[in-house]
Amino acid sequence: MKFTAHNILLDNGEKTMGDSVVLLGESAVWQSILKSLDLFLPGTREERSKMRVVDLGCLEGGYAVEFAKLGFDTLGIEAREENIQNCNYVKDNLNLPNLNFVRDDVRNMSNYGKFDIVLCYGLLYHLDDPTDFLKIVSSCTTRLLFLNTHFAPEFDIRYELEPLNTYFIAPLQKRTRILLFSQNYRLSRITKVNGYRGRWMKEWSRNSNKATIEKLLWASYNNHRSFWLCKKDLTQALHDANFDNVFEQFDYTGDLMPHNYTFFYNRTMFVGVKN
């Protein structure tokens, strides 16, 4: 089995990505989730065992594993066959009966009931309908949402030059890093979807076949392009979806990049809390 991102310690001592990669459970990203969890929803193991968690677009299941280890009744939802096989391998090699995975599109999450905690990491920016999806998420969340996502910059001259950027500037910046003040994602010009501002990002060619899409293990699944909301619009969408309190959490960048991570990668972590 080949793991691409989640280094998970299994019961037999095996690490899914070996010794050279930090264990997910020891990463700054997980530690920031844990800290926020203890802050907003402190509880004993017994209390937690009565709560449900869903990990959306769970990839290899690493975050779901950590929630299950805390005692939560945990479900990981993942669209891709190869990823879900890795999740099930992890499950088979851990004594965690409260850990489960299902292969499905996250847009169907309401078929699995309500959840106290929703983890939406590295997923929202792979959807073409993020504001509709946040409404689905909210309708399934009773307490907490952890959302780690890219957002679209409001101003970036490169994206105003759409084809010139896509075919000339972006490849040049990739090779040389010239004037690379922030990552160049080849986004579109600013546009509105459902009244919210953002930019489109091409995930794969519209004509890609199933086999090709299956191989893109980290990409979108049922949509060939995704819509990245501007940060202001994203916070507004979270409020509009009935998250009463929206916080931004910065601690997760610890072992990724100490300075400037949010600006350079147009990425942040939100915590949505329901009253």
Ligand X SMILES: C[S@@+](CC[C@H](N)C(=O)[O-])C[C@H]1O[C@@H](n2cnc3c(N)ncnc32)[C@H](O)[C@@H]1O
**Shortest distance in whole angstroms from residue 235 CB to ligand X:** 20
Interaction mask 52-91, ligand X, x per CB under 6 A: -----xxx-----------------xxxx--x--------
Provide the strand spans (E) within 98-178.
99-103, 115-121, 141-150
The C-alpha atoms of residue 238 and residue 230 are separated, in whole angstroms, by 12
How crowded is residue 63: how many other Cβ atoms within 10 Å of its Cβ? Answer: 28
Residue of closest CB approach to ligand X: 57
Contact 24, 7 (CB under 8 A): yes
Which two tokens mark 144? 């907490």
Single residue of 167, 168, 181, 218 touching ligand X by CB under 6 A: 218
- Interface residues for ligand X in 125-144 (CB under 6 A)? 126
Residue 117 interacting with ligand X (CB under 6 A): no
Contact 214, 81 (CB under 8 A): yes
Residue 146 interacting with ligand X (CB under 6 A): no
How many residues sit close enough to ligand X to count as binding (CB under 6 A)? 19
How crowded is residue 209: how many other Cβ atoms within 10 Å of its Cβ? Answer: 8
How crowded is residue 197: how many other Cβ atoms within 10 Å of its Cβ? Answer: 17
Q: Indicate the residue among 36 and 220 with the shorter CB distance to ligand X.
A: 220
**Shortest distance in whole angstroms from residue 204 CB to ligand X:** 11
Binding interface with ligand X (CB under 6 A)? 5, 57-59, 77-80, 83, 105-106, 121-123, 126, 218, 220-222
